[in-house]
Structure 1
Amino acid sequence: MLLTIVSRLFQLYELAIVVFILMSWFPGAYNSGVGQFLGRICEPFLSIFRRFIPAIGGIDFSPIIALLVLQFAESGLFYLLSFI
């Protein structure tokens, strides 16, 4: 039960990050209510990776690394919770 809840929370956050990234394709999307909400949720996590990974050719690759780190964190947490 606990693993299912944690898994769903990770999936929801990953979806929020993907939607936030895709919003960059639409002008003014970040100014909408959903955009501002997702910005408050996703930007603190993504900003950690933007400090270390520069944009190459105007393309920001830091969200890809952020999603990979999130996947590793989820796997590690599941490994730890499997002992409980």
Structure 2
Amino acid sequence: MGSNVDNALFFLVSTLFKLAIWVLILRVALQLVRADFFNPVSQLVWRLTQPVVGPLSGIVPRYRQWDLAGVLVLYVLAVLYIYAVFAILDYRVGLLPALWLGLLSLITMTLMLLTFSIFVQAILSWLGPGVNNRAGSVLWSLNEPLLSRIRRIVPMVSGIDLSPLVAILLLQVFYYLVPLHPVLR
């Protein structure tokens, strides 16, 4: 991959796949944490993913609060992402390595999405503490299960909640522990 056209194509394809995967991760995660469905952010995620996941919802059953149709579409899209990246790089990849790399890429993208959402939630809390906005409530629903567990261990220091900082640090450690090829990060 040497030419600027190849680099631009790689960037474009990689970015579009990652955005689609992040939206699908959000769909699954928001249903998993039982976020407010009527929130405009939740509605946006739902409407963006419904044309792809909706037809499968009638075929693939739910398991408790797990949207298995969404998980299936998410995994298939991650494997397609692996094949697309390797095709652009002019490499061949077998089915089993693609399935494994697809799973690893889903793990890393989920960790990055959680890191980003906690970071944005922390910034929003500094800009308007106590202000309830639509994005903030969705972020709170998404991040609170993790942050509340960290708050039990890490106490507040001078009235400052350090749980977002600890969570971001831990998520980044886990991110770098996943054995994924640097091209796919």
Q: What's the TM-score, normalizing by structure 2?
A: 0.38
What is the Cα deviation at residue 9 of structure 1?
2.7
Letter in 2 for 1:75: Y
Amino acid at match of 1:43: E
CA distance in 1, matches of 2:106, 2:143: 20
* Equivalent residues in 2 for 1:1-80, closer than 5 Å: 1=82, 2=102, 3-25=104-126, 26-29=128-131, 31-76=132-177, 78-79=178-179
RMSD: 2.0
Q: Give 5+ residue unaligned stretches, structure 1.
A: none
1:27–1:66 CA distance, 2 compared to 1 (3 A): closer
If the length of structure 1 is used for normalisation, what is the TM-score? 0.76
Cα displacement (A) at 1:5: 4.2
Check 1:57–1:28 CA distance in 2 against 1; reply closer, same or farther (3 A cut). closer
After superposition, the C-alpha distances for 1:25-57 in whole angstroms (9 at most, x for unaligned) are 21443x211111001101111111101111111
Aligned length in residues: 79
Question: Which segments of 5 or more consecutive residues in structure 2 lack a partner in the other structure?
Answer: 1-81, 83-101
CA distance in 2, matches of 1:56, 1:7: 31
User: Partners of 1:48 and 1:74 in 2: how far apart?
Assistant: 19
Question: What is the alpha-carbon distance in structure 2 between the residues aligned to residue 8 and residue 46 of structure 1?
Answer: 19
Work out the CA distance in 1 between the residues paired with 2:105 and 2:150: 28
Separation in 1 of the partners of 2:109 and 2:138? 19
- AA in 2 matched with 1:41: L
Could you tell me how far apart the structure 2 residues matched to 1:35 and 1:63 are? Answer: 14
Residue type matched to 1:68 in 2? L
Deviates more, 1:15-24 or 1:60-69: 60-69
Q: Max radius of gyration: which structure?
A: 2
Identity of aligned residues (%): 35
Equivalent pair of 2:112/2:175 in contact (CA under 8 Å): no
